[in-house]
């Protein structure tokens, strides 16, 4: 397995945000920025600085999930493994903290080490998220039923952080509330957590689905410290022609009225993925609306509108959605797309492709495979990433000055 490291910077907030896609690849990425307001193409060279290099000596291997930042400027993230020897990486993963020094360097500290599967989980692939009290939350593989967990890490006065498993997923023993939580979590204003599982939920079992093809879930905290889970929506059927999507790999996002938006890697009439919306209704029920189904248009395996979105979407103030696909692009593309779904007064969405990543006969022309999510600043600029083979597999980096920008 390879990791994909995505570097994003929200210029209006002066806040570094480094994200990653949740599944695939193992290589450091360059960064692209797409400015929607300009019509002239130009490039500016960006600078980057290495904050930490994971040595694989117990300090972590494969930082897939990206980082979050606290008020003091510390960065927090996860690695899928602990050690890297001459063979495959080993260990059950960890959570780390990077603390800035007066000289501008960062010092790494491991704040939690997973013990493995049934004990406390393993191989975290998502980033972590803070609550208002400074506790961290994330997802990991393993657990009592082998379908993954949601965990909470709490700081202690002596330094080490303590883990509490707040939910165990189970797709095999009647409960079937999901399996394989890969994407990151998100809080609402009431302190409830929302996320996705890429499998489970009831339904199809095939190559990519285990007792269902994924769920969107909610966790509500109780006064005794426990959490109660509910399934907002389950994706039951896999394969082409499914009524909804299949395999949501990333988390979901809110709009300003409380609706949730996300993507699925597959599903839809051509089995090329979907963009969906969940609307809260009465008595805890949510209604799904498929906003867009990626389709082939007779260009086999290379649909011009894109295919197979791994990352989720972002919203602009007008309610338009933006995202990336790892495939498609048509005759001018083949390396994935950046797309926009424009909202209209009747609630319908229309797709347009902002950029197609292309290939030349000799190889990469302008990069390919944008697997990480996008972020938008206050000026309407989009920042994201693409994947390309590299040997820099265990380095965490940031952009220090200008980003490499592509003005469309």
Do residues 151 and 163 lie in contact, with contact meaning Cβ atoms separated by under 8 Å? yes
pLDDT at 239: 64
Quote the percentage of the chain above a pLDDT of 70.
74
Which residue has better confidence, 383 or 37?
A: 383
Which residue has better confidence, 59 or 403?
A: 59
pLDDT higher than 90, residue 22: no
The pLDDT tens digits for 302-332 are: 677 788 898 899 999 989 999 988 887 766 5
- CA 369/CA 367 separation, integer angstroms: 7
Do residues 150 and 135 lie in contact, with contact meaning Cβ atoms separated by under 8 Å? no
Q: What is the mean predicted confidence (pLDDT) over 15-33?
A: 33
Q: Which domains does the chain have, with CATH numbers?
A: 4-407 (2.120.10)
Neighbouring CB atoms inside 10 A of 358's CB total 18
pLDDT higher than 90, residue 45: no
Q: Is 7 left (phi over 0), alpha (psi -120 to 50) or beta?
A: beta
Do residues 190 and 198 lie in contact, with contact meaning Cβ atoms separated by under 8 Å? no
Q: Is the dihedral of CA 118, 121, 125, 131 positive or negative?
A: positive
Q: Is the dihedral of CA 269, 275, 279, 283 positive or negative?
A: positive
- CA 248/CA 310 separation, integer angstroms: 8
Ranked by mean pLDDT, which of 61-70, 90-99, 206-215 comes out on top?
Answer: 90-99
Helix (H) and strand (E) counts for the chain?
1, 34
Q: What is the mean predicted confidence (pLDDT) over 344-358?
A: 82
In the beta sheet, which residues pair with residue 161?
Answer: 155
Residue that the structure tokens 């189904």 belong to = 293
The pLDDT confidence band at residue 70, using thresholds 50, 70 and 90, is very high
In the beta sheet, which residues pair with residue 339?
Answer: 323, 353
Write down the pTM of the prediction.
Answer: 0.81
Three-class SS state of 141: strand
DSSP alpha helix (H) spans, 9-146: 117-120
- Strand arrangement of the beta sheet that strand 94-100 belongs to: 27-28, 4-10, 15-19, 67-69, 75-79, 94-100, 106-113
C-alpha angle with apex 228: 226 to 230, nearest 5 degrees?
Answer: 165
């Amino acid at each position: 397995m390879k990791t994909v490291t995505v570097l994003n910077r929200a210029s209006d907030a002066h806040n570094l945000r480094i994200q990653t896609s949740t599944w695939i690849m193992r290589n450091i990425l360059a960064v692209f920025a797409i400015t929607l307001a300009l019509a002239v193409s130009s490039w500016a060279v960006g600078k980057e600085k290495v904050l930490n290099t994971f040595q694989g000596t117990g300090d972590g291997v494969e930082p897939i999930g990206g980082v979050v930042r606290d008020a003091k400027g510390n960065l927090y993230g996860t690695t899928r493994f602990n050690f890297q020897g001459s063979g495959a990486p080993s260990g059950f993963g960890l959570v780390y903290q990077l603390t800035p020094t007066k000289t501008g360097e960062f010092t790494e500290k491991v704040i939690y080490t997973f013990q493995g599967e049934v004990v406390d989980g393993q191989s975290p692939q998502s980033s972590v998220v803070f609550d208002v009290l400074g506790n961290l939350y994330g997802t990991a593989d393993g657990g009592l039923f082998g379908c993954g967990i949601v965990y909470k890490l709490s700081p202690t006065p002596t330094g080490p952080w303590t883990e509490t498993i707040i939910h165990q997923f189970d797709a095999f023993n009647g409960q079937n509330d999901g399996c394989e939580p890969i994407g990151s979590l998100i809080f609402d204003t009431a302190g409830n957590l929302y996320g996705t599982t890429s499998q489970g939920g009831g339904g199809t079992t095939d190559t990519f689905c285990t007792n269902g093809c994924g769920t969107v879930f909610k966790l509500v905290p109780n006064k005794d410290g426990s959490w109660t889970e509910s399934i907002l929506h389950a994706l039951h059927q896999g394969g082409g022609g499914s009524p909804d999507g299949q395999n949501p790999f990333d988390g979901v996002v809110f709009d300003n009225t409380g609706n949730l938006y996300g993507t699925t890697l597959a599903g839809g009439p051509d089995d090329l993925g979907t963009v969906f919306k969940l609307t809260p209704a009465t008595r805890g029920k949510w209604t799904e609306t498929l906003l867009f189904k990626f389709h082939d248009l007779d260009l086999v395996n290379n649909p011009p509108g894109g295919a197979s979105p791994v990352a989720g979407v972002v919203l602009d103030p007008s309610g338009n959605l933006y995202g990336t696909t790892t495939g498609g692009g048509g005759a001018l593309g083949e390396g994935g797309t950046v797309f926009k779904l424009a909202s209209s007064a009747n609630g319908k969405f229309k797709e347009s492709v902002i950029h197609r990543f292309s290939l030349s006969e000799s190889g990469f022309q302008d990069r390919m495979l944008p697997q990480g999510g996008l972020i938008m600043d206050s000026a309407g600029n989009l920042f994201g990433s693409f994947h390309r083979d590299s040997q820099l597999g265990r380095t965490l980096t940031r952009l220090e000055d200008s980003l490499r920008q592509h003005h469309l």
